[in-house]
């Protein structure tokens, strides 16, 4: 097994798995004890509707993963089967769950998709385009939700966040996060679909600056990745992008509706569109979380953003139930799948393409 394999395995050590579990359960337990309300728990009315909405919450998790699997099959032109797509998505989610949210699992995703026999050039394109589609969904949904629910109801007054040594409220940090995503997506569009070689030239020019020069090699690699992605994705028909974005839409909608159905299982009424919209703001906060998979931060943020829709004594319990359904399963499923997946990809008589760039993956014309 190659050195890249050993490097990736280091991400899946027991310590990396147990830390987010302890963080999440620790914060959830603290919130449960601090806000425990015996009457709220006694007052829960278990009816057929409660079980139905809990089932729907679980179904939304299935929809989330099916959407990701479908998108992966679209982006690979069906090269990866449904069965293997399941392995890839579970391991991808596993990697995201044990790495800080701000880093994500993209580096490990490159390795996983490549080991499924997809060339490194196409793998690079797939991982970059999945990020682009995720950001595009967010960019489109935010103004739509603002039009529907309005800015006054969308933001909470609770919580302050420090960015660049300055304190911002919820609305301030959201605007910063949204603008960052907008700029990043614009850069990807320019680099991939407009002028990839020009983008690389700009990148290398910027990284000639003395305080950035030590990262110039990395910048050149990023430029190459953009060129490769452009070559793989330009010229794809409209139906290709419609299918890929459709899978993205199903995945993210399923992700958010989990919370809606959980709240409906215990609380009748409530503004479901506002609950959905609030999660868009939550996602920006979780995106900059320094903890693995937002663990600990997510449980706390859940109470701050959605507590007004839930009886006070039930809010921490519902936050824990939300993470139990939408986060912790990936830690256990990934840990189960990983050894079987490694045996399968390394048990092949013929190894998939190397994880390093092959000659045909690199642009032939120097920039």
| DSSP line for 322-333 | HHHHHTHHHHHH
pLDDT of the residue at 354: 37
* Report for 198-207, 247-256, 300-309: range of highest mean pLDDT: 247-256
3-state secondary structure of 119: coil
pLDDT of 358 over the 50 cut = no
Q: Please identify which residue in the block is written with the tokens 């830390």.
A: 19
pLDDT score, position 278 = 92
- Whether residue 128 is contained in a domain is answered as yes
Element at 168 (helix H, strand E):
strand 166-168
Per-residue model confidence (pLDDT) at position 353: 37
Three-state SS string over 261-304 comes to: HHHHHHCCCCCHHHHHHHHHHHHHHHHCCCCECCCCHHHHHHHH
Using alpha carbons, select from 191, 163, 189 the residue that is nearest to residue 177.
163
User: Which residues, in sequence order, are bridge partners of residue 1?
Assistant: none
Please give the distance of CA 236 from its chain centroid, rounded to a whole number.
Answer: 24
What pLDDT sits at residue 169?
72
Determine how many CB atoms are found less than 10 A away from the CB of residue 350: 5
Mean pLDDT is highest, among 91-100, 193-202, 240-249, 288-297, for: 240-249
Express each pLDDT in 3-13 by its tens digit.
Answer: 556 666 666 66
* Over residues 187-215, mean pLDDT: 87
Q: Average pLDDT for residues 247-273, to the nearest whole number?
A: 92
The Cα–Cα gap between 59 and 255 comes to 10
Nearest Cα residue to 113 out of 104, 100, 122: 122
Which segments of the chain does DSSP mark as H helices, in order? 3-11, 14-34, 38-42, 48-75, 82-97, 106-115, 120-149, 151-154, 170-189, 196-206, 216-233, 238-266, 272-287, 297-306, 315-326, 328-346
In-domain check, residue 361: no
Most confident of the ranges 241-250, 305-314, 335-344: 241-250
Residue 280 scores a pLDDT above 50: yes
What is the tens place of the pLDDT at every residue in 85-94? 999 999 999 8
Query: Residue 357: CA atoms inside 13 Å, Cβ hemisphere, count?
Result: 16
d(CA 364, CA 177): 37
Candidates 138, 115, 113; CA nearest to 128 is 113
Give the model's pLDDT for residue 87: 94
Q: Report the phi/psi class of residue 296: left, alpha or beta, with left for phi > 0 and alpha for psi in -120 to 50.
A: left
279 occurs within a structural domain: yes
What residues make up the domain containing 99?
11-355
For 65-124, how does the pLDDT look when each residue is reduced to its tens digit (9 = 90+)? 999 999 999 999 999 999 999 999 999 998 888 887 665 667 788 888 988 988 888 888
- 300 found inside a domain: yes
Residue 139 lies in a domain: yes
In the prediction, which pLDDT does 159 show? 55
| The two structure tokens encoding residue 180 | 């960052």
> For residue 138, what are the contacts with CB-CB under 8 A and spacing of at least 6?
178, 181, 252, 280, 283
Supply the pLDDT for residue 352: 41
Neighbour-count burial of 284, counting CB atoms closer than 10 A to its CB (0-12 exposed, 13-18 middle, 19+ buried): buried
Whether the predicted pLDDT of 254 surpasses 90: yes
Residue 359's pLDDT is what? 38
- The per-residue pLDDT of the chain, averaged, comes to 81
Taking the C-alpha atoms of residue 191 and residue 200, their distance in angstroms, rounded to an integer, is: 8
Say what the pLDDT of residue 350 is: 44
- The answer to whether residue 233 sits within a structural domain is yes
| pTM score, whole prediction | 0.83
60 within a domain of the structure (yes/no): yes
- Contact of 300 with 27, CB cutoff 8 Å: yes
How high is the pLDDT of residue 86? 96
CA-CA distances (angstroms) from residue 270 to 261, 331, 351? 11, 32, 54
The pLDDT, as a whole number, for residue 89 is: 95
Average of per-residue pLDDT across 20-39: 68
CA distance 360 to 121: 8
Residue 226 domain-assigned (yes or no): yes
DSSP annotation of 162:
E
| Domain total in the chain | 1
User: What burial class does residue 296 get, using C-beta atoms within 10 Å of its C-beta: 0-12 exposed, 13-18 middle, 19+ buried?
Assistant: buried
Q: Considering all CA atoms of the chain, what is the largest pairwise distance in Å, rounded to the nearest integer? A: 71
d(CA 8, CA 342): 11
Q: What is the pLDDT of residue 336?
A: 87
């Amino acid at each position: 097994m190659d050195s890249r394999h050993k490097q990736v395995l280091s991400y899946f050590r027991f310590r990396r798995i147990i830390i987010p579990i302890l963080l999440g359960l620790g914060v959830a337990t603290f919130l449960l004890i601090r806000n425990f309300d015996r009457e709220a728990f006694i007052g829960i009315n278990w009816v057929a509707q409660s079980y139905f909405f809990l089932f729907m919450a679980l179904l939304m998790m299935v929809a989330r993963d099916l959407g990701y699997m479908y998108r992966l099959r679209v982006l690979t032109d069906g090269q990866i089967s449904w069965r293997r797509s399941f392995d890839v998505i579970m391991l991808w989610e596993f990697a995201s769950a044990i790495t800080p949210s701000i880093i994500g699992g993209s580096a490990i995703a490159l390795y996983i998709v490549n080991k499924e026999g997809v060339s490194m050039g196409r793998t690079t394109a797939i991982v970059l385009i999945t990020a682009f589609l995720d950001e595009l969904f967010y960019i489109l949904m935010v103004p739509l939700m603002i039009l529907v629910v309005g800015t006054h109801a969308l933001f909470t007054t609770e919580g302050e966040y420090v960015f660049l040594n300055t304190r911002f409220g919820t609305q301030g940090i959201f605007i910063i996060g949204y603008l960052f995503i907008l700029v990043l997506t614009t850069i990807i569009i320019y680099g991939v679909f407009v002028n990839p070689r020009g983008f690389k030239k700009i990148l290398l020019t910027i990284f000639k600056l003395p305080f950035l020069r030590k990262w110039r090699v990395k910048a050149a690699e990023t430029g190459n990745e953009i060129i490769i992605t452009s070559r793989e994705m330009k010229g794809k028909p409209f139906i290709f992008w419609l299918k890929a974005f459709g899978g993205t839409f199903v995945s993210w909608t399923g992700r958010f509706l989990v919370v809606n159905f959980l709240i409906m299982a215990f609380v009748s009424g409530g503004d479901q569109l506002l609950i959905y919209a609030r999660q868009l703001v939550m996602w920006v906060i979780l995106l900059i979380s320094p903890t693995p998979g937002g663990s600990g931060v997510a449980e706390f943020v859940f109470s701050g953003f959605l507590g007004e829709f839930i009886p006070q004594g039930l809010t921490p319990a519902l936050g824990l139930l939300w993470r139990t359904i939408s986060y912790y399963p990936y830690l256990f499923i990934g840990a189960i799948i990983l050894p079987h997946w490694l045996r399968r990809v390394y048990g092949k008589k013929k190894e998939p393409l190397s994880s390093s760039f092959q000659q045909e993956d690199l642009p032939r014309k120097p920039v």
